[in-house]
Structure 1
Amino acid sequence: MNIMRQQEVVEAFHYDINNQSDTETDIQVEINPFDMSKEEEFPKENSLVGLRVIYQIVFEEFVLTGAIRQLVTVVDKNIQAAEDLNKEEIDELVRPLFAMIERLTYEVTEIALDQPGVQLNFNQE
């Protein structure tokens, strides 16, 4: 898949002490294709897609919450709904957002805990 990416945007990133024992890890991926049919300059064979990852990652000592988003143009593929993508294509689209969460987590926990940072690994292999 040929993907042209805009810059990732960190909407929010929070590091909080875990004061609640009942919170659970939750990660949501949103895929929102835009209807570009009325835009004359936008190639009809391409798709503009908004990606967003909203997360709450719970550790014993702390909780990370936030959201990261990105706009991408998928070249030569018509995407009208998230269902038009298979799992491999979705993984390819959102991988940079998960890489950003991994990087932010490592850097912030290294500073907050004054020790080597926590290394997340979202790879499913």
Structure 2
Amino acid sequence: MKMETKKFPIVVNSYHYDLLQKDDQPSQDVQVAMRAVQPSDDRLKGTEKDGTYFEIMVPFDVTVANKGFKISGSISRVVQVLKYFGEASDLPPEELEKLSRPLVEYIETLTYQVTSVALNEGVSLNFQASGEPGDSADDDQ
């Protein structure tokens, strides 16, 4: 079943770039959270009957290996999932991935643009969705 959504603009709540020492340890912390919200725009009042509104938030804190910089911040977007009245946690994982992917791509694009200016060389990031929580190589110990 394909879920229909109404998407609102992506908002960059914060984006921070720091130049670091080249030998700093790489790290990647990109989270995706989703919560039900009420529309704050008066023009949208009453449209909750068409489906639930959610805010998708993507906080990030990434130190890029061998490039000498760190980025951090938060990006969000409101979406309305039409004809859906359940909880965010009940959405299929592939739907959450589909809804959050444009925000992650926004981080990748912003980083490329900032590093093009700051380092005279655009750095391409390619974040991939990880599996279920706990699905990491460290769990085999």
TM-score of Structure 1 vs Structure 2, range by shorter chain:
0.7 to 0.9
Q: How many residues align?
A: 120
Give structure 1 stretches of 5+ with no counterpart: none
1:57 shift after superposition: 1.2
Give me the whole-angstrom Cα distance separating, in 1, the residues matched to 2:26 and 2:128.
23
1:40 shift after superposition: 7.2
Give me the whole-angstrom Cα distance separating, in 2, the residues matched to 1:105 and 1:118.
7
Asked if 1:2 is matched to 2:4, the reply is yes
Is 1:33–1:79's contact at 8 Å kept on the other side of the alignment? no
User: Equivalent residue of 1:118, what SS?
Assistant: coil
Asked if 1:72 is matched to 2:79, the reply is yes
2:106 maps to which of 100, 103, 107: 100
Structure with the bigger percentage of helix: 2
Name the TM-score, length of structure 2 as normaliser.
Answer: 0.75
| Counterpart for residue 89 of structure 2 | 83
Q: Which amino acid in structure 1 is aligned with residue 20 of structure 2? A: N
Give me the whole-angstrom Cα distance separating, in 2, the residues matched to 1:111 and 1:99.
19
| Counterpart for residue 18 of structure 1 | 20
Name the TM-score, length of structure 1 as normaliser.
Answer: 0.84
Q: Which amino acid in structure 2 is aligned with residue 2 of structure 1? A: E
Cα RMSD for the two superposed structures? 2.2
Give me the whole-angstrom Cα distance separating, in 1, the residues matched to 2:25 and 2:45.
51
Structure 1, residues 4-27: CA drift from partner, whole Å, max 9, x if none?
111110011111012583573211
